[in-house]
Structure 1
Amino acid sequence: MFPELATLGPLRDRYDTLYCDVWGVIRDGTDLLPEAVEALIRFRETGGRVCLVSNSPRRSSSLAHFLTDMGLPDEATDAIVTSGDAIREELVKRSPGRALNIGPERDGSLYEGLALEFTGIEDADFISCTGPDDYLNGRPEDYDAVLARALDRGLDLVCANPDIVVQSGNRLIFCAGAIARHYRRMGGTSIVAGKPHRPIYALARAALEARGFAVDLTRVLAIGDGPETDVEGATRAGVDCLFIAGGILGETLDGGRLDVETAAAALKDYGVTARFVADRLTW
């Protein structure tokens, strides 16, 4: 059974709440996508509510400032939750402590208020990873030596962003999830809380309920472009999903046109299915 082609407007009567991804859905890694932003605004204008659910390792307040600076209007969202928020509890448990930090300086706000000392691998109690140090060009294999030593020492890797790749303009870049997966394949242990894992969805529900919105899971639609994160996460959270095929699986588009069979086959390769599919988010 193939997913249904869908735009957001005709789905409004079925769903009151959106759990909407950011990278690959409302921004391409470089710019905001105006049609997607307009779709969120119109959904809210009809009485719906929108929670952005992002695997960003930033805290939600930091991501909110970042998106505002990019030009995202307040009218597009009711709440934001991030993988950084979801993993914070794990970092609190390990604080005070010593960690090997893997990730760019831009992610430093994740650690504000924590008594963590960043050290080399020999003195670390665990690894905290927000992504490659080289945001645009880093690869999991860059960390083979340090991960091998971490494995020898039996260290956990705390992953603040479970995404394997994200869209950045017209290219894909590796995320912390790729490093965590590489470590697991070596035999190590990684700890994650963002999509597709349930803690981030519990945060999304709590964030909306804190604003006075009742959340009925039968009327929640998750939107995202990641088969292993957004689509799988929707299934685990017990909500329907609109898969955006033009994100990280852009090869599902033939000359810019969506091939539903190809999109369904691509999802099947990951062992997941979505109820709806679109090339991009529009009203």
Structure 2
Amino acid sequence: MTKHAENGAPVSAPRASDGALCEAYDTALLDLDGVVYAGGEAVPHAVASLRAAREAGMRLAYVTNNAARTPQTVAEHLVRLGVPADADEVVTSAQAVARLMAERLPAGARVLCAGGEGLRVALRERGLTPVDSADDDPAAVVQGYGGPGMAWGVLAEAALAVGRGVPWFASNTDLTIPSGRGIMPGNGTAVEVVRIATGRTREPVVAGKPAPPMHRETIIRTGARRPLVVGDRLDTDIEGAHAGGVDSLLVLTGVTDPATLLAARPDHRPTYVAADLRGLLAPQPAVARVGEGFACGGWHAVARAAELKLTGPGDGETVGESGGETGGADPVDGLRALCAAAWAWAGAGPGGGGVPQADKALARLGW
């Protein structure tokens, strides 16, 4: 029988699973940017891993905060990459915010749409009417990522309407979005432009991850009974999983690096950690308390004097003595042990607390 975390339980160390995650959970709720693809190209091992997970019986749902594209366009992109996907398996923050607005506005209400085609299509599907000007008497304003070519005038119209007191919504508030050329401004940056221009201190009503409406939209559309959130961001994917009371897998192919993971606050700590989507296909090793520290896969980590110390498998060396050699052991196992030691230190009383220094320990693992 597969051992797993209780949904929503506090995470003090990465959890174990005796069986592959694709067998323990019925549906993978997969983020896209940084998980499945980056800069439009498939992340290494993503295509083969997702195909294998589906063949093992796991359903796949692609859940993205990016509201610019329609589900059909996203699915076509995934298929071109070799990823199995249908439009009804794609869930966007545009769909989540459109449902939220339709529940609060009259049928057919005009909505000033400061976003891309994905947001416009989602509004129409919910019986709302997208308009482009603050002078079109909109019942609400909604902002969604419109791509790098979104005109400045779109934000000007949104600011005018919000400044007049029109109800304000946002698909999401991610400040950045990954691209093939590097990190670029996301929808959260555009939201801040409107806030500054209007002098507003209030927040828009947000639907996307990590807010609950996005999780609700995903569950409605997928019918998942035991979902696993799979993402690369602590502040959207993993926090959203905590908010929804479900388990999560962090993959290290996108925004979050190992140092950031070690410093994660409790609601940003994933249930499981893997290098990439191959983590769906394998059991998850246990992290055990051993002496003052924690062990996983032959690695032993302990926090002493506000610094993480790491011993490698079979060599008896402490960090910094072997020039980054891992002896053939899995570095992610070492990271799992370090997570347990760092998170225990962060929650400790006198003599502990805060984030322990981890540079030498991570260098030992090649990070």
Q: CA RMSD in A?
A: 3.6
Query: Is the alpha carbon distance of 1:174 and 1:79 closer, same or farther for their aligned partners in structure 2, counting shifts above 3 Å?
Result: same
Contact 2:169 2:204 in 1 (8 A): yes
The aligned amino acid for 1:121 is: A
Query: Is the alpha carbon distance of 1:78 and 1:89 closer, same or farther for their aligned partners in structure 2, counting shifts above 3 Å?
Result: closer
Correspondence 1:6-155 to 2 at 5 A: 10-57=20-67, 58-74=69-85, 79-92=89-102, 93=105, 95-104=107-116, 108-112=120-124, 114=127, 116-125=129-138, 126-132=140-146, 135-136=147-148, 143=155, 149-155=160-166
Aligned-residue offset at 1:238: 0.8
- What is the CA–CA distance in structure 1 between the aligned matches of 2:80 and 2:101, rounded to whole Å? 28
Aligned-residue offset at 1:121: 2.9
Number of aligned positions between the proteins: 259
Query: Is the alpha carbon distance of 1:68 and 1:273 closer, same or farther for their aligned partners in structure 2, counting shifts above 3 Å?
Result: same
- What is the CA–CA distance in structure 1 between the aligned matches of 2:202 and 2:232, rounded to whole Å? 28
The reply on whether 1:224 has 2:234 as its aligned counterpart is no
- What is the CA–CA distance in structure 1 between the aligned matches of 2:106 and 2:74, rounded to whole Å? 24
- 3-state SS of the aligned residue for 1:180? helix
- What is the CA–CA distance in structure 2 between the aligned matches of 1:146 and 1:56, rounded to whole Å? 21
Task: Give the structure, 1 or 2, with the largest relative contact order (CA under 8 Å, sep 6 or more).
Answer: 1
Query: Is the alpha carbon distance of 1:119 and 1:202 closer, same or farther for their aligned partners in structure 2, counting shifts above 3 Å?
Result: closer
Contact 2:29 2:62 in 1 (8 A): yes
1:174-231 per-position Cα deviation (integer Å, ceiling 9, x unaligned): 222333356567313412222212233233333333xxxx613xxx321112222111
The reply on whether 1:280 has 2:276 as its aligned counterpart is yes
Query: Is the alpha carbon distance of 1:238 and 1:64 closer, same or farther for their aligned partners in structure 2, counting shifts above 3 Å?
Result: same
Tell me the equivalent position of 2:245.
238
1:3-61 per-position Cα deviation (integer Å, ceiling 9, x unaligned): 54999x84345433311111110011321225112212211222222222222324434
- What is the CA–CA distance in structure 2 between the aligned matches of 1:18 and 1:36, rounded to whole Å? 13
Aligned-residue offset at 1:88: 1.9
- What is the CA–CA distance in structure 2 between the aligned matches of 1:207 and 1:151, rounded to whole Å? 31
- 3-state SS of the aligned residue for 1:194? coil
The aligned amino acid for 1:263 is: L
TM-score for both structures, normalised by structure 1: 0.74
The aligned amino acid for 1:280 is: D
Same amino acid, percent of matched pairs: 27
- 3-state SS of the aligned residue for 1:263? helix
Q: 5+ residue gaps in structure 1?
A: 253-258
Bigger Rg, which one? 2
